[in-house]
Structure formats: structure tokens, C-alpha cells
Structure 1
Amino acid sequence: MKLYEPVTLAMPLAKEIGEFIRREGKLPSGDELREILKGLGLEEGCLDRGLALYRSRFVIALAFPRGETVVVDAISSSGELSDALEVIAYHDRKLGAFVVEILPTNDLEYEGNVGIEPIIVDEKTLELESNPVLGHFEEDEEGLFLVIERETYERWREEGDINICPICGGELAWKGERAYCQDCGYGVRVVKG
């Protein structure tokens, strides 16, 4: 997995937190979040009361796990805030669901898609009630791709427009099991999962 920009951390992190919620029926604790972040290839830099810092070569993550809410800010290691993202997971008692969202930390300068559909998990059945297109990023000779599982693709095709890039909102051009976005430069690849 490649972590070049905040989006390359935020999307797989949201997916992992969503899968954790569906397995465990709760938000991850600080220690569980720590294992998720380390599993995504981040090094632990600093732990302090209510705050943890993780880093890779290109991305820094600040984690704030607080019982009913988990917040992770993904920032470019260059300090550029225009592409910084925040992954927020919380238990919404009015909805009766757990919600995981990816939001820009700076609405005024954010250059990407703010419309990434949130993960919504029913608190009783632990079933997915939304159709987020999430995966992890891999690089090959053709570029950097968001790798999604076949199940995610099928759900996306049934419920949404598979010609809209899940990363930036641009237009995707499909070629077999791969799609390419002219706007953001990322691709989408479907794998058996």
C-alpha cells in the first residue's frame, strides 16, 4: 500500500474503521486505533494524553480517540493543508448508527472531492446502510490506483454512478477492470475480494 497523500491514508483508514465497527459493534479504542494505523504502514511518533502522532515518509496522522468519537487528521508531511483530510467516526444515537466520514480539514482550500459517501453501519444489525467506494492504493507501471473489492464494485454499480471518480468527483473512463480519471490522475482497479 502506498501513502503518498492524505487521501491515500484517509480512504483505507475509513474502510478499516468501518470494518472494525461491523466486526466488533463499537468504535475502536485508542489501542485498537493504534493497531489499525500501524497496520496501514504508519510509524508511531508520539503518544500523549488523548493524542497520538503517526507518520510515514509523505503523510502525518494525528489521532484523537475519545470514547464516542474517533478523529484522525491526515496531513501531507510537507505541511500543505490544502489537501488535508479528517476521518471522523462516531456513534449517532438519533440515527441509530455508527458513521465514518472523510471531510476536508479546510473547506476553503480543499482541492479534492468532498462528496465521498460516508460509511453508515446500523447499530443493531451491524449491516452497511450506505455505499461508500473505499479501498487501498497500489502503484504499478500504469500509475496509482484505488484498489476496490468486487463486492464494493457491484454495490457501487447498483446504487451509484460508476463513471464518477470516488476520489475527486471527475469522470472515469473504464477499460475492463480498470478506470482512469483525467482530473485527479488516480485510477480505480477492481480485484476479487
Structure 2
Amino acid sequence: MVIHEPVNLAMPLAKVLGETIRRNRRLPDGNDLREVLKGFGLEEICLDRGIAVFRGRTVVAMAFPRDEPLVVDVISSSGELSDALEVVAYLDRKLNAFIVEIVPANDIEYEGNIGLEPVIIDAESFELKSSPVLGHFEEEEGSPFLVIDRETYEHWKENGNTDICPICGGELAWKGERAYCLDCGYGVKVVKK
């Protein structure tokens, strides 16, 4: 897995949080979240009341593991806020669903458009009620790719949105099992599980 900028951590984190909610039938607690972030290769550099800070080579993640909502701010290690993102997980009582979404941490400065559909999980059946396009990032020949599994691709295809980049909302050009965004430069690669 490659993490060069906040989106490279936010998307796989949202995926894992959604999977954890479905498996454990609850929001992850602080210990769950710490293990997930360490699993992404981040080093825990601070743990204090209500906040944990993790550092990677190119990103810093600040976790606020309260009971609800669960919030992780991901910023570039350079301190640049224009691409900072928040991963938020909570129980929406009106929808009776758990929601995991990625939002710009700074609406004024954000340069792109998060094209992601949130993870929506029914709070009773724990079935996925949305079709988020989430995965992890790899680099091939200097090009970054969002790697998604076949099941994620099939759900995405059912919605008819496969021409829209899940990262920036731009236009995708497909060539076989790969797509290239004409706007943000990221690619999407479909792999077998």
C-alpha cells in the first residue's frame, strides 16, 4: 500500500472502518482505531485524553475516538491543509444506519472534489446500503492506482457511475480492467480478491 497524500490513507481507512462496523455490529472503539492506523504503517506519537496522533512518512493522522462520532483528521506531513481530509463514522439515528464518510477538513482551502459515496450500513441488518468505491493505493510505473476488488466494482457498475472518478468526481477513461482519471491523474484498477 502506498500513502503519499491524505486521500491515500482516508479511502482505505473508510473501507476498514465500514468492514469493522459490519463485523462487530458497532462503531470501532479507540483501541480498534489505534490498531487499524498502526496496521497502515503509521507510528503512534501521542496518546492523550481524547486524542491520538499518528505519523507516517508523508501524512499525519489525528484520531478523536469518542463514543460518537469517531473522527480521524488526515493531513499532509508538510502541514498543507488544502488536501486535508476527515474520515467520520457515526450512527445516524434518523436513517437508523451507520455512516462512514470522507469530507474535506477545510472546505475553503480544498482543491479537489471528493467523489466518494459514503458507506451506509443498516443498523439492524448490518447490510451495506450504498456502493462506495473504496480500496487501497498502489503505484505502478510511477502512476498511482486505487485498487478495488471485483465485488466493489460490480456494486459500482450496478449504479452506472463507472465513468466518474471515485477520488475527485472527474471523468474516467477505461482500458480493460483499468481506468485513468482525466482530471486528478489517479488510476483505478480492478483485481480479484
Interval of TM-score (by shorter of Structure 1 and Structure 2): over 0.9
| 1:54 aligned residue | 54
TM-score (structure 2 length as normaliser): 0.98
How many residues are paired up? 193
Report the aligned-residue RMSD: 0.9
Gaps of 5+ in 2: none
What does residue 84 of structure 1 align with? 84
Match of 1:188 in 2: 188
Q: Match of 1:31?
A: 31
Partner of 1:114: 114
Shift of 1:114: 3.0
Runs (4+) off by over 4 Å: none
In the other structure, the counterpart of 1:15 is 15
Q: Quick check: 2:15–2:135 contact (8 Å CA) kept in 1?
A: yes
TM-score normalised to structure 1 length = 0.98
Is 1:145 aligned with 2:145? yes
Once the two structures are TM-superposed, the CA of residue 153 in structure 1 deviates from its matched residue by 0.3
Partner of 1:2: 2
Which residue is 1:69 aligned to? Answer: 69
Q: Alpha-carbon deviations, 1:88-122, whole Å to 9, x = none?
A: 00011111110001000111121122341110000
Amino acid at match of 2:12: P
Aligned residue type for 1:114:
I
Query: Separation in 2 of the partners of 1:125 and 1:111?
Result: 37
Task: Check the 8 A contact 2:115/2:165 in 1, yes or no.
Answer: no
Deviation (angstroms), 1:170? 0.9
Q: How far is 1:182 from its partner? A: 2.0
Find the residue that maps to 1:45 and give its secondary structure.
strand
